[in-house]
Amino acid sequence: MDKKLTNKQKRVLDALIGLYGEGITPTYRDLQEKLGLRSIATVYDYVKRLERLGYVKTEGKARSIKVVAPVMNKFPLVGAVHAGDPTVAVEDIQGFLPFPVDPRLHPHAFVLKVKGDSMIDAHIEEGDLVIVDPDMPASIGDICVAVIGDEATVKKIEKMKDGLYLVPANPKYKPIFINRDVKIIGKVIGLYRGISK
């Protein structure tokens, strides 16, 4: 598993990991739907390539795509981020946390602790840990971490009539217009919630 993946291959592997995270043992159709692809043959080709690279295994059954479990890797815990009103962005590393995310896929990933409740309807709660990849471009519909001046926040990117906004998943909070003062610092690629926070 030492060959570098293309961005599309990363997207497919991340989608597989995401389906497992939702409690779904994925089929090719599940993966096709998650990725929004029209052709199941395209999904099959991607999965076979990932299998040749050692990232997944298939066994010819209906639900046969298995992600080869990566080694637990440590990612830096970098301050905290509000899922509410923006908070001061802390850049110092407070420690390292182990997560089953392959560092070859996300070599610059880091972890932030969520404060606030503005993303509660997206199932991101206070005390959750979000894994952020600054190398993955965040697009419309993605949850990201953004910095506004010296403050950081976690929100979803959405397009509205007059432009792009950082949108909370809680009606108590207002969307934030994305202008030149807003810097998207990374896409949220994972979430960890402990039994007790």
Which residues are marked as active site?
118, 155
Q: Where are the beta strands (DSSP E) in 7-150?
A: 56-57, 66-67, 73-82, 87-88, 93-99, 110-115, 129-133, 143-148
70 near 100, Cβ under 8 Å? yes
CA pair distance 156, 7, nearest whole angstrom: 21
- Phi, psi of 115, rounded to the nearest 5 degrees: -125, 140
- Non-local (6+) Cβ contacts of 74 within 8 A are 96, 97, 98, 99
Residues in the chain: 197
> Cα separation of 4 and 27, whole Å?
25
Q: Which residue, chain included where needed, has tokens 């040749």? A: 52
CA–CA separation, 40 and 67 (whole Å): 19
